[in-house]
Structure 1
Amino acid sequence: MLTGSHAINMDAKGRMAIPTRIRESLVASCDGRLVLTAHTQERCLLVYPEPDWQAKLPTIQALPTLDPAARRIQRLWIGYATPVEMDGNGRILVPPTLRSFASLDKKLMLVGLGDKIELWNEEHWLDLLEEPAETEISPELQSLTF
């Protein structure tokens, strides 16, 4: 289970260390093999354990290519997808194209969402938290209780 938020740093070469608790979970579930890609609605990255990525890929590939929204999702989600592997120190290298897409620099936020991780520019993450909540609640969320 990939949960929690972690303030981390990225070095000048684009390497970042995965926090120990998350690293252990990723090593157990996928031997540290991950796929980084662009989020389709936010300027952040998605980090998937490789087996989870492989399971979701056919669904995205099957979207109708004549639908402009589907093409955009495919271009972002599949087009930016980059396999990476954690090194012996639990670090991964974030490619320049993905760093640019998400405006990643030294200070980052790693946010676990259960089956995947979001990787944010720390300033953008903090700005997102300050945004007012949506006033309309979808039917799916109306039945949700905590």
Structure 2
Amino acid sequence: MLRGINTLNLDAKGRMAIPSRYRERLLTQCEGQVVVTRDVRDPCLLLYPLPDWEVLERDLQNLKNVDPETRRYQRILIGHAADLEMDGNGRILLPPNLRKVVGLDKHIALVGQANKFEIWDEETWNKQCEEMLVSNGSPSEQLESLSL
């Protein structure tokens, strides 16, 4: 399970060090092979272990792309996807074009989401958290069924 929030720094080359508590899992699960892509809704990147990405990619490819929203998801998620590999020091080089499109500079937040990570600019993440905590929106039907 990929969970928790970690604040990290990108080095001058745009590399991110995967926290040690996740490294062994990524090495065991996918030999350090991951895929990073752009999120379809929020200004963040999504980082998937390769096996989890392959399932999502297959599901996306199997959708009929006559629907404009389906094509949009396919174009954003698959079109921006980049195959990456964790180096011997547990670092991943985030592509410059993806760092730029979501505004990643030096300070980032790595947010675990069970099967993937979200990678946010730290300041943007903090603002997002404030907005989420003050939101008074009604929970969806599927959220209503959870006992928190």
Give your verdict on TM over 0.5. yes
Counterpart residue number, 2:141: 139
Counterpart residue number, 1:40: 40
Task: Name whichever of 134-143 and 98-107 sits farther off.
Answer: 134-143
Cα displacement (A) at 1:133: 2.0
Counterpart residue number, 2:83: 83
Q: Does 1:114 align with 2:118?
A: no
With normalisation by structure 2, the TM-score equals 0.95
Q: Give the unaligned 5+ runs of structure 1.
A: none
Cα displacement (A) at 1:123: 0.5
Q: CA RMSD for the aligned pairs?
A: 1.0
Identity %: 49
Deviations 1:45-86 (A, max 9, x none): 100000111111111112222211111101110000000000
What is the aligned residue count? 146
Structure with higher helix content? 2
**CA 106–112 in structure 1, closer or farther in 2 if over 3 Å, else same:** same
**Aligned partners of 2:122 and 2:30: how far apart in 1?**
27
Cα displacement (A) at 1:134: 4.4
Cα displacement (A) at 1:17: 0.4
Q: Give the unaligned 5+ runs of structure 2.
A: none
Runs of at least 4 residues off by over 3 Å: none
Cα displacement (A) at 1:110: 0.3
**Aligned partners of 2:135 and 2:24: how far apart in 1?**
34
Q: Residue 23 of structure 1 contacts residue 90 of structure 1 at CA under 8 Å; is this kept in 2?
A: yes
